[in-house]
Structure 1
Amino acid sequence: MGKATIDYSLYLVTGREFLPPGKDYYESLEESLQGGVTVVQVREKNIDTGKFIEIARRTKEITDKYGVPLLINDRIDVHLAVGSHGIHIGQTDMPLPLARTLLGPDAIIGLSVSTPSEAQLAVQQGADYVGIGPVWATGSKDVSAKVKLAPEGVGRVLEILAGTGVEAVAIGGIHLPNLAQLLHGSISPTSRNHLSGIATISDIVGSPTPKDAAAALRAVVDSFKRARKSLGNPSSVFSLSSPEEPRSAESLIRQVGVLMEVVRKHTPLVHQITNNVVINDSANATLAVGASPIMATNARDVADLSKVIGALLINFGTITDKEGMLVAGRQANVNRKPLVFDPVAVGATAYRREASRELLSHWQPTVIKGNAAEIGALAESNEVLSRGVDSVGSGFTDPAKVVKALAQKRAAVVVLTGVEDYISDGEIVLKASNGHELLGNITGSGCMTGTLVATFCAAARLHYLASKEPFEDLSQLVQGDMLVGALAGVLVMTVAAEVAAARGDVKGPGTFRSALLDELYNLRPEVLAQRANVTVVQV
C-alpha cells in the first residue's frame, strides 16, 4: 500500500468530553471534515479496549468517506485492529524505534516534542512528523508542569527540523484569534522553516457548529501557506509601490508622503494605552498630524473599541492597565488592526520583563518600537543596558543586524530609535538619520514617536483596503505595508523636530516642545521628502 501522504494543515484530535450538550460525536466529526479537517487522531484515555476499537472503527468509516487519513493515539493494538494510517505517541509512551519495528515502514508515526533536543532525536529515530507543544496553556490536558513554548519556542524547534523532511504541527491553546500570531511568530529565525499545520481539539469539538469552526481555521492556515509560497516576507504583505519598483530609499520616502495624505484625508482613530507621563503629549501629536486619539484603558471598554479603531498602541511605561493591554491586544489581532508595542524600560526590572513576556504570549505585535536598551532586552543582548527608561553604553556594534534578527524572530517590524533610527521588517533594514538633540531633552519624545508609528500604520492599512480586495490574505494579521508605516512615524517625528529646532523662537526644551507640535501640524510631504535622510543598509 505504501506510506500515506498527509496534509497536516488542520489536524483534529478527538475529545468527546468537549462536545457541547446534545451534540453527537460522529455528527460533529463529519461536520468538521466537511469544514476542512485534513487529518484526524482518535484520542481516548479512559475507556476499555473494546470501546476504543469500536469508536476508532466508526471514525475510520467517516474519515474514509472524505479521504482523510486517520491516526490513533498511542495504541498500536487499536491501530492494527481498525487499519488506520498510523499512530501518534508521546515522550513517555512506547519508544519510537520499537513502534517502527512493530508497525513496519509504511505506518505514519508522529511524536510529541517540546524542545529542540527532543526534535533532533525524533529526526534521528525516523518520525514522520512531530507535534510541537504546548504553545500556550490549554484546558484539553494537564500541561501545568510544562513550559509553554509560545510562538518563538515553536520556532526554535522548527529550526532543528529544517531540511529534514519531518513535518510539524503545533498544539496547545490554539484558537482562531491567536492562529495567525502563531503561524507568523513561529517561523524559524535562520532557516525560515514554518509549521505544516496546527492541531486542535476544543476549538472544533467544543463548537456547536464544527463545520464553520474548522472552515475558519483552515482558511487562515491555507492563506498563510499561500503567502509563504509566493511572498516569503512575513511582515509586509502589500507594498505601496508597484511590484516592479525596487524598495529603494527614494521610493519608500515617496510612499511616506502618500501615507501623510491618507492620514489627513481619513483621520484614523488611534487607540492608545500609554504611559501616564505622556498621555497629553501623545494625544496632541496624534491630532497634529491629522488623526484622532482615544486613550481608553478599561478591559471592558477596549474590546468594543477595537472594531472601529485604525490602530492600537500599547506603551507599558507605567504598566497600570495590564488587563486592558491583554484584551486590547488580542482584539486588535482578531480584528486585524495594526498593534504597535512600545516596551518602555522593559529591561529595567524583573516585573517589566515578566509583563512583556505575558503580553507577547497573548498577542502578536505588528511593530515593536524601542530604544537600544529596550530592543536589546527583547533581543536578549547584553551590549546595551537599561537605567530606568534610558540606555547605558555606546550602543550596538551592528544595530542593523540586531533589528533584522529581532524582526525575523518576532515576525514584526522592529524600530530601534536613537541618534540614528533603524527599521527592519526582517527582509531589509532602513537607517533614518534625521532628528535633533533637543528631542532627548523633553519627556516623552520616544513615546510620541510610537504614537506616530501607530498612526501611520493605520494609514498603511487604510491605503491597502482602498487598493485591494479586503482581507484576501487571511493569514496576515494586518494588511498593508507596515514597514512604510513605521518609517513614516519615525520620519514625521524627526523631520518635524529638525524644522522646529531651527525656528528663531526656540530657546530650549520648553519652547522646542511647543514648536514641535506646531511643526507636526504644518509638515507636508514635499518638505519631508526634501529633508528625509534614509538609506537601505545591507546586512
Structure 2
Amino acid sequence: MKPIDYSLYLVTGRNLLPPNKDFFTSLEESIQGGVTIVQLREKELDTHDFVDLAKKAKVICDKYNIPLLINDRVDVALAANVDGVHVGQTDMPIEDVRRLLPPGSIVGLSCNTVAHVKDAVRLKVDYIGIGAVWGTQTKKLTQPIIGVRGVGAMLAELEGTNIKAVAIGGIKSTNLLRTLHGSVATNNRALDGVAVVSDIVASTEPKAAAERLQKIFQKFKQSHENHPLGLQDNLIGSQVTVGSVLNGVVQLVCQIREINPLVHQITNTVVATQSANITLSIGASPIMATEFREMADLARICSALLVNIGTIRHENVEGMLIAGVAANSYKKPVVFDPVGVGATSFRKETVRSLLDTWQASVIKGNAGELAALAGTTEVLSKGVDSVGSGFKDPEAFVKDLARRERCVVVLTGATDYISDGTSVVSIRNGDEILGRITGSGCMLGSCIASYCAVATQIAQANANNSDADRTTMFQGDMFTAAIAGVLVLTVAAEIAVKRDDVKGPGTFLPALIDVLWALTPEQVRESAKIIIK
C-alpha cells in the first residue's frame, strides 16, 4: 500500500456550497489547491444517489491520484469502488469493516478520548480523526470539544505505531497554526494532517482556500522539524551556558530603553498602577486596556501582551480571548499569568478556554498556580498563594509543563525556575520582602512581557520585518526574555532593600521603582545567581 498524504483532508458538505457553485467543480478546484485526501460525507442522501455521487467524485479524485473515502457507509464504498471508509465510535465495528472491504483499503476511526485512541491502536486502523478540536456548525456534536491542548495526550498514544492522525472540528486558516502548534504531544509527535470542511467547501474560491491551508501546514511541518518545541533560535545560541544566558540578558537590558516597546497589559486592577510604573521604570511603555472592542487595534501597535487574571470578571474574558488571538496573528508575544487559577471553578474554566484559544509565549505562576494548571495535587494553593514546601523536583516539573504547553514556563518562589522544555535555568536572586508587597508577581509579569517585546522587535529587525515568516508561532527569544524579566526584578529588589530609606514594605516599593530606573546591565550581570541544567 502506497503512503497516504493526510496533510489536507477534505470532508465534503454539499449543503455548505456557495450559491451557484457546482459540487464537482468545487471538489476539483480544492484538489488543485492542495487537498490530498477526500471523505465524502452524506447523511441524508439515499443509497442510489449516494453511490452515483461517489462514482462521479471518484473520477475526479482518480484524475489527480487522490484517495476517496466514504463516511460510515461500507456498502456505498464497495459499490463505488473507492479507497476506504471512515467510521465513528457508534458505526460498524472496525473488524467488520476490514472483513468487508478489499485488502489494502484505508480505514479511519473517529476518536474523542485517550481510551478511543488506545482502542484504535489495538484495532490497527490506518488513521484516526481526533476531534472536535474547535466548535463547529457543520456537524451536530455527540462528544465534548476536546480543545487544542487535549490533542497531545491522544497523539502520545500513537508512539511506536504507524497509525496517522488528523484533527477535525472547526479548523480553518485562521486557527490552523494554533491547532498544529498547540496539539503536539510531549514526545514531539505532531499531527499528520487536518480535516477541513467549511473553510474550503463554503468558499467561492476553494482552490485558493486549499492553497492557504496547505501552505500553513507545510510551513509548520518544516518549522517543527527545525524547532520541535516551537521556539525560534534564541539570542544565547544553541549552547546554553551561564555566560551565553547573561550575554542575551544584557543585550535585552541594553536595548529596552532605546526601543521603548509598547506593552498592552490586561492585568490585576489592584496593582495596575504599580505594574505600569514598573514597566516605565525598566524602559518600556504600558497601556492598560480591557475593552474588547480595542483589542484588535492594540495588537497591531503593541509589541507584547500581558494577560493577568488576578481580578477577572466575566465581562473581561471576551477581551482576553480577542486580545490573545490578535496577538498571535501578529506574532506578538503573549505572557500569561493564571493568578489564583486553582481557587475557583470559574478561574479554571476561564484558563482552559484562554489557553485552548490562543498560544501563550510565556506562562508565569507560583507553585500552587502552575500545579493547578498542570492538574497535579503535589502543591496546593490558598487563594493566590502556594501552600507547602513546593515541588519535589521543580526542574522536572517546569520542563514537562513547558513541553506540554509548548511555551516558556516561569515557576516563581524562593528560587525561580525557567524552562523552554529543553533547558532549565534556576535563579536564586531576590529578597523575601518581595512577597510582602501586593502584586509583586503581577509586576514580574510586566517585566517579562516588556523584555519579550524587546526580543520580538530584535527578531523582526533581524528578519527584515517585511519578509518575516508569518507561519511560525513565535518571533523572538522568549526564553532569554523571561530570564531577563526575573533577573532584573530580583536583582533590583536585593539592591533596593539595602537602601537606608527602606524601613519596610511601604518604603520598599518606591525604592524598587527607583532602583529599576537606574539599574545597569553590568549590575544585573555581576549580581546574577543562576544555575543551568
TM, length-normalised to structure 1: 0.95
Structure-1 separation of matches of 2:70 and 2:375 = 41
Aligned to 1:509: 505
Q: 1:58 is aligned with what amino acid?
A: K
Structure-2 separation of matches of 1:157 and 1:299 = 34
Q: 1:428 aligns with which of 419, 423, 439?
A: 423
Deviations 1:54-82 (A, max 9, x none): 32223223223333222111222322333
4+ long deviations beyond 6 Å: none
Q: 1:178 touches 1:333 (CA, 8 Å); kept in 2?
A: no
Structure-1 separation of matches of 2:173 and 2:24 = 23
Aligned to 1:114: 112
Q: 2:427 is aligned with what amino acid?
A: A
Deviations 1:190-213 (A, max 9, x none): x32221111111122122332232
Structure-2 separation of matches of 1:32 and 1:261 = 50
Q: 2:380 is aligned with what amino acid?
A: L
Give the alignment of 1:418-457 within 5 angstroms: 418-457=413-452
Q: 1:508 is aligned with what amino acid?
A: G
Aligned to 1:356: 351
Aligned to 2:247: 254
Give SS of 1:365's match: coil
Q: 1:288 aligns with which of 261, 281, 286?
A: 281
Q: 2:220 aligns with which of 209, 212, 224?
A: 224
Q: 2:74 aligns with which of 73, 76, 81?
A: 76
Q: 2:460 touches 2:468 (CA, 8 Å); kept in 1?
A: no
Structure-1 separation of matches of 2:279 and 2:137 = 42
Identity of aligned residues (%): 52
Give SS of 2:175's match: helix
Q: 2:133 touches 2:168 (CA, 8 Å); kept in 1?
A: yes
Structure-1 separation of matches of 2:206 and 2:301 = 29
**Match status 1:33 vs 2:22:** no
Give SS of 2:418's match: strand
Q: 2:363 is aligned with what amino acid?
A: I
**Match status 1:465 vs 2:463:** no
Q: 1:262 touches 1:463 (CA, 8 Å); kept in 2?
A: no
Deviations 1:259-280 (A, max 9, x none): 2233222221111100000111
Aligned to 2:319: 324
Structure-2 separation of matches of 1:261 and 1:29 = 55
Give SS of 2:157's match: helix
Q: 2:293 is aligned with what amino acid?
A: R
Deviation at 1:433, TM superposition (A): 1.1
Unaligned runs of 5+ in 2: none
Deviation at 1:408, TM superposition (A): 1.1
Structure-2 separation of matches of 1:281 and 1:34 = 56
Q: 1:267 aligns with which of 254, 260, 267?
A: 260
Deviations 1:188-247 (A, max 9, x none): 22x32221111111122122332232222222211221122233232x22211345xx11
Once the two structures are overlaid, the 10-residue window that deviates more, 395-404 or 504-513, is 504-513
Q: 2:173 aligns with which of 159, 172, 176?
A: 176
Structure-2 separation of matches of 1:403 and 1:384 = 13
Aligned to 2:202: 206
Deviation at 1:474, TM superposition (A): 4.6
Give SS of 1:496's match: helix
Structure-2 separation of matches of 1:313 and 1:207 = 35
**Match status 1:193 vs 2:193:** no
**Match status 1:414 vs 2:409:** yes
Q: 2:181 is aligned with what amino acid?
A: H
Give SS of 2:301's match: coil
Give the alignment of 1:475-486 within 5 angstroms: 475-486=471-482
Aligned to 2:367: 372
| Alignment: residue pair count | 530
Give SS of 1:434's match: coil
Give SS of 1:293's match: strand
Q: 2:331 aligns with which of 336, 353, 360?
A: 336
Deviation at 1:476, TM superposition (A): 2.7
Aligned to 2:376: 381
Structure-2 separation of matches of 1:285 and 1:156 = 39
Cα distance change on mapping 1:35 and 1:519 into 2, 3 Å: farther
Unaligned runs of 5+ in 1: none
Q: 1:282 is aligned with what amino acid?
A: S
Cα distance change on mapping 1:38 and 1:469 into 2, 3 Å: farther
Deviation at 1:167, TM superposition (A): 0.5
Once the two structures are overlaid, the 10-residue window that deviates more, 169-178 or 87-96, is 169-178
Structure-2 separation of matches of 1:446 and 1:127 = 48
Q: 2:244 is aligned with what amino acid?
A: S
Q: 1:152 aligns with which of 141, 149, 153?
A: 149
Give SS of 1:139's match: coil
Q: 2:149 touches 2:356 (CA, 8 Å); kept in 1?
A: no
Give SS of 1:345's match: coil
Q: 1:333 is aligned with what amino acid?
A: N
Structure-2 separation of matches of 1:273 and 1:106 = 55
Deviation at 1:435, TM superposition (A): 0.9
Give the alignment of 1:65-144 within 5 angstroms: 65-143=63-141
Cα distance change on mapping 1:80 and 1:370 into 2, 3 Å: same
Structure-2 separation of matches of 1:35 and 1:269 = 40
Q: 2:121 touches 2:163 (CA, 8 Å); kept in 1?
A: yes
Structure-1 separation of matches of 2:453 and 2:205 = 34
Structure-2 separation of matches of 1:115 and 1:242 = 39
Q: 1:416 is aligned with what amino acid?
A: L
Structure-1 separation of matches of 2:460 and 2:235 = 12
Structure-1 separation of matches of 2:206 and 2:268 = 42
Q: 2:127 touches 2:164 (CA, 8 Å); kept in 1?
A: yes
Structure-1 separation of matches of 2:56 and 2:120 = 31
Q: 1:347 touches 1:386 (CA, 8 Å); kept in 2?
A: yes
Cα distance change on mapping 1:212 and 1:305 into 2, 3 Å: farther
Deviations 1:397-426 (A, max 9, x none): 111111111111111111011111001111
Deviation at 1:502, TM superposition (A): 2.1
